[in-house]
Structure 1
Amino acid sequence: MNWTLEVVNLPVSDLDRAKEFYADRCGFHVDVDTEVAPGVRVIQLTPPGSRCSIALHSGMPPAPEQHRPAPGTVHGLQLCVVDIEAAREQLVSRGVEVSAVQHLGPGGWSEGKGGTWNAWLFFHDPDGNGWAVQEVPSELADR
């Protein structure tokens, strides 16, 4: 049996603002934007080329014994690209505040690309949820 990660729920304070950020600025595809019941809205967006989507919602009760994270408290979400400079330029051209390309070395983080698997950039959505973008070797991008 395969277990695939297909959707990550992302807490946001303003659905329309978050939808605009992810669709218009980050280039995610809007898969769903619907009111599934009175007062319950779900927006699902998918990064280009990804099988995993993010879900933004309002009015949904938490599952039993589940604690819903507050907007801006999710960090460590990671996207992978084969060209980190092109990805950075695309985000910047769409108005996303994004870090310089960085790599991790013996002295910590430094600007510029490192070796294979060692080129990163970072950004936050309007609520403060944190994203990392990592460059991967092109031959591994479609696995």
Structure 2
Amino acid sequence: MDWTLEVVVLPVSDIDRSVAFYRDKLGFHLDHDTANEHMHVVQLTPTGSGCSIVIGDLPSQTEMAPGAMRGLQLVVADAAAARQELLDRGVEVSEITVFDERDGGTFFGFADPDGNTWAVQQIKARAEKPLIPVEARGRFGESG
């Protein structure tokens, strides 16, 4: 039996500000934004990922303090290009650090407006062999 991680709840203080950051600055795909008199829940997914983040105001989404998530990790094929893309979009990012010259040892990081932190790891092999093949991405609601 497969057990797949598909959603991570991210604690934020301002849903609309967070949507603007993750969608407009990071380029995450907006899967859904559902609001009514009882709740507001938003799901966003990084391109190429099978795992999404969910932000909202339901009790399960407000148990952690905004900014409490540390070290969530994204993987890219080219850290320098990804870092530059985020800089061009106005995201404050750290310098690239190479902990190990082997593939997978290069990182940089950033934080969202609430202080949730993200590490971005370079795995060059993702360029030739993405975890979710491009032709399958439409099934996950992604453009691409």
TM-score, structure 1 normalization: 0.85
Distance in 2 (alpha carbons) for counterparts of 1:62 and 1:31: 19
Counterpart code for 1:57: G
Tell whether the 8 Å contact from 1:81 to 1:141 is kept in structure 2 after alignment.
Answer: no
1:86 to 64, 81, 86: 81
RMSD between aligned residues:
1.7
Aligned to 1:26: 26
Q: What is the DSSP-based 3-state SS (H/G/I as helix, E as strand, rest coil) of the residue aligned with 2:59?
A: coil
Aligned to 1:141: 130
2:94 to 96, 99, 121: 99
What CA deviation, in whole Å up to 9, does each residue of 1:95-121 have, x standing for no partner? 00001111226xxxxxxxx33211100
Tell whether the 8 Å contact from 1:120 to 1:133 is kept in structure 2 after alignment.
Answer: yes
Tell whether the 8 Å contact from 1:44 to 1:53 is kept in structure 2 after alignment.
Answer: yes
Aligned to 1:125: 112
Counterpart code for 2:32: V
Counterpart code for 1:24: D
Distance in 1 (alpha carbons) for counterparts of 2:120 and 2:107: 5
Tell whether the 8 Å contact from 2:15 to 2:55 is kept in structure 1 after alignment.
Answer: yes
Cα deviation for residue 140 of structure 1 reads: 4.8
Q: What is the DSSP-based 3-state SS (H/G/I as helix, E as strand, rest coil) of the residue aligned with 1:56?
A: strand
2:65 to 42, 64, 70: 70
Gaps of 5+ in 1: 106-113
Aligned to 2:44: 45
Report the count of equivalent residues. Answer: 130
Tell whether the 8 Å contact from 1:121 to 1:134 is kept in structure 2 after alignment.
Answer: yes
Distance in 2 (alpha carbons) for counterparts of 1:132 and 1:24: 19
Name the structure with the higher strand share. Answer: 1
Which of structures 1 and 2 has the bigger CA Rg? 1
Cα deviation for residue 68 of structure 1 reads: 1.3
Q: What is the DSSP-based 3-state SS (H/G/I as helix, E as strand, rest coil) of the residue aligned with 2:90?
A: coil
Name the structure with the higher helix share. Answer: 2
Identical columns (%): 49
Gaps of 5+ in 2: 133-144
